[in-house]
Structure 1
Amino acid sequence: MITRLHLYLVDAAAAVVIGVLVGYAMVEHQEKPWWLVVPGTLLVAAPVAVRRLWPVSSLVITTAATAAVVIGQVLPLEALGAPMGAVCFALYTVAAERPRTWSLAGLVISVALISAVTGAEPENIVVVIAALGAVWAIGYTTRLRRSFLDREASQRAEQALAGERLRIARELHDVVAHNLSLIAVQAANAAHVRSPEHAYEALTVISETSRSALTEMRGLLGVLRSDADLAPSPGLDGLSDLADRASLAGVRITLDVRGESVVPEGIGLSVYRIVQEALTNVVKHAAPTSCTVLVDVTPSSVRVEVTDDGPGVKELGVGHGLVGMRERVAVYGGTFSAGPGPGGGFRVVAELPHR
């Protein structure tokens, strides 16, 4: 990768080459004294070495110095090519790094001064305009390309930020909906039971569930802080705890995980959230009931099936739960279906390919 230092070294080398050519042209036939050759050479060539730091100043100095050494007959007109190279270097930098107004002004001034010292002959003016105009066009095109790349990078960053916000919102929905459903069910039980022991058990479940939800939400929102301690995302290993919490709400859970539990982190998180959302729906709409969770991991995909034997539903509703599950599956190009089971109850089936 080319670093800034390498670019400065290239500019310094170009300045040395131009300086040697200009100095040699000054003394080759005219034998000018050193006190004219050295300052003239430095004023023409040295700005090339610092053109990236001070583009406009470099262009002004090298253009004015070129005109001065030719008008003062320190440099013969036939040797104008070397200082023209210095002017082109500086003009390109101005066109590439400064606003169009500045670069056009630099182009006009450079063309005017260089054309004036060539004797203002039409063919010379055409050559000067063509050469400097081409350099300016290349520099300005470079500026437009850089601007386009910057905008594209900014748009990608904004899209990534929007995607991350959407992901966090989806995770928050899943966490809050699942745990609040359990809390609501247990709170209702505590309000209706006559036995203090049952009420105490319901309150214990509410307390444990709320603490678990707060812990998970803190971990999720912690990614928005740069000093947060990042914890692993929940995956297939957390399904048993998920089933245990759902069973506290009166749902008899049968969990069956087949195959290897090692899957890509994103797949594992998606499976976890799909099961969590499906169990949330069971708790909200079918409890008390029994539910079977089957997770079948194969070398090419993960299949999730959650079925219950509750009363079922007549319509799927307009909540975000099923939509969120469908979106998670769509990210990996999988398949998803949800609806009444063939033998009653409700059935959710999702398959996520991971290879």
Structure 2
Amino acid sequence: MIAKLHLYLVDLAATVVIGVLVGYAMVEHQDKPWWLVVPGAALVALPVAVRRWWPVPALVVTTLATVAVVVGQVLPVVALGAPVGAICFALYTVAVEHTRAWSLTGLVGAVVAVSGVSGGEPENVLVGVAVLGAVWVIGYTTRLRRSMLAKETSQQAEQALADERLRIARELHDVVAHNLSLIAVQAANAAHVRSPDHAYEALTVISETSRVALTEMRGLLGVLRSDADLAPSPGLAGLPGLADRASLAGVTVALDVRGDSAVPDGVGVSVYRIVQESLTNVVKHAAPASCTVLVEVTPEAVRIDVTDDGPGVKELGVGHGLIGMRERVAVYDGTFGAGPGPDGGFRVVAELPIR
């Protein structure tokens, strides 16, 4: 708002200067009475003050007023500089605000008018064409630059939206894969055991895991609603809950979090999801097994080491789990590794720098 006010003050100052110069030229060279000087100078200069609101009418009025005061011998031809300045102000705004067809029409009309009242001398015509043409080029170039900037801003907004949707999709994948894996394991246990107590225990785990999954999914999908009351993003504080749920699915988890748990929110979410996906893989491919989760926080980085003693794998799959973990680490220019452990089992190691 303040920047616009400055622009309007510049237009007002230009109006005053042009009006004074035109009025002075009328009195000095033609010795005209005030009742001709004031309206003539006003018609030439005042459109500059309103050119940002009405560019085309401002250009038309100031051009016709210039022609009228020169043809009516109220203003001498030698004093055309100030009126041409007013025309330039209006023409620039038309070139910036309107299409090329409109602005070219205004340019041609202004050139014809100025050339017609300048006496028809070739040098005067060339000067008029050069000045008005340069003003039009500057205005049209400004229009193109603003259009490109607006397009770039729009593309950046679309990219940000796409990135946010990708983030939500990744979060949903992690939530669904982890919790459905726990549910699948417990459902299989409930189907095979003969003891009602074990079946009841498995169903309890399924119930609790389903409730957690629904809560997380509501929170993530709530990002798409402006009126959503979202829960805090998961972080290092949520790691014990992950360990407990994995333990219920038959994986004994030893969790060790070292250092200050106060890390940036983005890093905390990434650490949480990497540990979650690692435990999901242990539940799906190695349960029952034991698993060690080490999260070490230093002032420079967060290091994650998840190792299990399961049967391991001969070849790494191409599922979205490992890809998602790599992408999360790549966002922070960190390092990631996954593969068979030195003593068997499977190991996931990641390091996320803290910027």
Same fold (TM over 0.5): yes
> 2:97 maps to what in 1?
97
Q: CA separation in 2, counterparts of 1:4 and 1:158? A: 28
Q: Measure how far apart 1:264 and its partner are.
A: 1.1
Q: CA separation in 2, counterparts of 1:297 and 1:117? A: 80
Pairing 1:324–2:354 present: no
Pairing 1:27–2:9 present: no
Check the 8 A contact 2:291/2:306 in 1, yes or no: yes
Pairing 1:253–2:285 present: no
> 1:349 maps to what in 2?
349
SS in 1 for 2:30: coil
Check the 8 A contact 2:29/2:76 in 1, yes or no: no
The residue identity in structure 2 corresponding to 1:228 is A
Q: Measure how far apart 1:36 and its partner are.
A: 1.8
**Matches for 1:1-355 after TM superposition, within 5 Å:** 2-355=2-355
Q: Measure how far apart 1:143 and its partner are.
A: 0.8
Q: CA separation in 1, counterparts of 2:231 and 2:68? A: 69
Q: Measure how far apart 1:231 and its partner are.
A: 2.5
Q: Judge which range, 228-237 or 1-10, deviates more.
A: 1-10
The residue identity in structure 2 corresponding to 1:343 is D
The residue identity in structure 1 corresponding to 2:312 is G
Deviations 1:15-69 (A, max 9, x none): 1111111111111232212232222111111100010111111101101110110
Q: CA separation in 1, counterparts of 2:5 and 2:222? A: 39
TM-score (normalised: structure 1) = 0.98
Check the 8 A contact 2:77/2:119 in 1, yes or no: no
The residue identity in structure 1 corresponding to 2:63 is T
Q: CA separation in 2, counterparts of 1:131 and 1:346? A: 75
What stretches of structure 2 of length at least 5 have no aligned partner? Answer: none
Deviations 1:93-121 (A, max 9, x none): 11111111111111111000100001111
- Superposition RMSD in Å: 1.1
Deviations 1:108-138 (A, max 9, x none): 1100010000111111100101111111111
SS in 1 for 2:262: coil
The residue identity in structure 2 corresponding to 1:165 is R
Q: CA separation in 1, counterparts of 2:119 and 2:334? A: 75
TM-score (normalised: structure 2) = 0.98
Q: CA separation in 1, counterparts of 2:78 and 2:237? A: 81
The residue identity in structure 1 corresponding to 2:148 is F
Q: CA separation in 1, counterparts of 2:347 and 2:205? A: 27
- Number of paired residues? 355
Q: CA separation in 2, counterparts of 1:222 and 1:11? A: 48
Q: Measure how far apart 1:2 and its partner are.
A: 4.9
SS in 1 for 2:53: coil
Deviations 1:220-239 (A, max 9, x none): 11111111123221111110
Q: CA separation in 1, counterparts of 2:25 and 2:58? A: 22
Q: Measure how far apart 1:258 and its partner are.
A: 0.9
What stretches of structure 1 of length at least 5 have no aligned partner? Answer: none
The residue identity in structure 2 corresponding to 1:244 is D
Q: Judge which range, 4-13 or 57-66, deviates more.
A: 4-13
Q: Measure how far apart 1:191 and its partner are.
A: 1.0
SS in 2 for 1:67: helix
SS in 2 for 1:40: helix
The residue identity in structure 1 corresponding to 2:231 is A
SS in 2 for 1:262: coil
Q: CA separation in 2, counterparts of 1:262 and 1:313? A: 35
Q: CA separation in 1, counterparts of 2:264 and 2:256? A: 20
Q: CA separation in 2, counterparts of 1:172 and 1:8? A: 51
Identity %: 81
The residue identity in structure 2 corresponding to 1:60 is V
The residue identity in structure 1 corresponding to 2:263 is V
The residue identity in structure 1 corresponding to 2:124 is N
